[in-house]
A and B are shown apart, each in its own frame.
Chain A
Amino acid sequence: MMTAPQARPAVPPVVSPATAPEPAPLLDVRGLTISYGNARGTLRAASDVSFAIRPGEVMGLVGESGSGKSTVAMAILDLLGGGGRVDSGEILFDGVDLRRLSPSERRALRGDRIAAVFQDPFTSLNPALTVGHQIAEPLIQHKGLSPRQAAARVQDLLAEVGIRDPRRVAAAYPHELSGGMQQRALIATALGCEPKLLILDEPTTALDVTVEARIIDLLAKLCDSHRLSALFVSHNLGIVNRICQTVTVLYGGVVVETGATGRVLSRPAHPYAKGLVAALPRITAERRHRLPSIPGTVAKLSGAPAACVFAPRCPFAEETCRSQPQAMLTDGGGDGVRCWKADALAGTPWPDEDAGKARGPKAAQPRSAPLVEVDHLRKIYGASRSILPWLRRAGTVAVEDVSFTVGRGEVVGVVGESGSGKSTIGRALLALTEPSAGTVTFDGADLTEQVRRGDQTLRRRAQLVFQNSAASLNPRKTVGAAMDRPLVLAGRADAEERRKTVASLLTRVGLPAAYADRYPHELSGGERQRVNIARALATDPDFVVCDEAVSALDVSVQANILNLLAELRDEMGLSYLFITHDIAVVSHIADRVLVVYGGTICEEGPIGRVLRPPYHPYTEALLSAVPRLAEDGQEAPRILLEDAAPAPGGRGCVFAGRCPRKLGTVCDEQAPPVHETADGHRIVCHIPLATLAERAAVFPELADGDTRH
Chain B
Amino acid sequence: MFAYTLTRLVYLALVLAVMSVLIFLVTQAMPGDVASMIAGQFASKEVVDAIAVKLGLDQPLIVQYGHWAAGILRGDLGRSLVLEQPIGPILMEALARSLVLAVVALFVVAVVGIGLGVLAAVRRGKLTDQLVSGVSYLGIAVPDFFWAIVLVLVFGSYMKLLPTGGYAPIADGFLPWASHLVLPVITLVLMLLARIARLTRSSMIDVLQTNYVKFARAKGMPESVVILRHALKNALLPTITVLAIDFGLILGGVVVIETIFSYPGMGRLLLFAIQRHDLPLIQATILIVSAAYCLANLTADLLYAFVNPKIRHGMRAS
Contact = CB atoms under 8 A, between A and B. Distances in A.
Pairing of A with B: yes
Given A176-B313, A388-B10, A390-B3, A127 B212 contact: yes
Interface in A70-126: 77, 79, 81, 107-112, 115-116, 118-120, 123-126
Contacts of B211: 118-120, 123-124
Interface in B272-316: 307-310, 313
B233 A128 contact: yes
The main secondary structure of chain B at its interface with chain A is helix
A391 B5 CA distance: 12
B218 A390 contact: no
Interface stretch (A137-145, A319-327, A458-466, A693-701): A137-145
B220 A138 contact: yes
A112 B309 CA distance: 29
Contact of B215 (A112, A124, A127, A173): A124
Contacts of B309: 127-128, 173, 175
B217 interface: yes
Nearest to A142: B220
B218 A118 contact: yes
A109 B218 CA distance: 9
Contact of B212 (A116, A125, A199): A125
Given A111-B221, A142-B220, A390-B7, A116 B215 contact: yes
A129 B230 contact: yes
Contacts, number: 89
Given A116-B218, A128-B308, A138-B219, A391 B313 contact: no
Interface in B196-253: 209-212, 214-222, 225, 229-230, 233-234
B44 interface: no
B318 interface: yes
B29 interface: no
A126 B232 CA distance: 11
Contacts of B220: 107-112, 138, 141-142
Interface in A445-495: none
Contact of A137 (B3, B209, B219): B219
Contacts of B210: 123
B217 A141 contact: no
A202 to B, nearest CB: 12
A189 interface: yes
Given A120-B211, A173-B313, A110 B219 contact: yes
B18 interface: no
A564 to B, nearest CB: 32
A186 interface: yes
Contacts of B216: 126, 137
B234 to A, nearest CB: 5
Contacts of B3: 390-391
A111 B219 contact: yes
Nearest to A199: B218
Interface string A53-68: 0000000000000000
Contacts of B310: 127, 173, 175
B219 A126 contact: no
Contact of B234 (A128, A137, A138): A128
Contacts of A138: 219-221
Given A116-B218, A189-B219, A388-B7, 17 more contacts: A110-B218, A119-B211, A123-B210, A124-B214, A124-B215, A126-B212, A126-B234, A129-B229, A137-B221, A137-B225, A138-B221, A141-B225, A175-B310, A186-B215, A390-B6, A390-B7, A391-B7
Interface of A: 77, 79, 81, 107-112, 115-116, 118-120, 123-129, 137-138, 141-142, 173, 175-176, 186, 189, 199, 388, 390-391, 393
Interface of B: 3, 6-7, 10, 209-212, 214-222, 225, 229-230, 233-234, 307-310, 313, 318
15 contacts: A108-B220, A118-B211, A124-B215, A125-B215, A127-B212, A127-B234, A127-B310, A129-B229, A129-B230, A137-B216, A138-B220, A141-B220, A142-B220, A175-B309, A199-B218
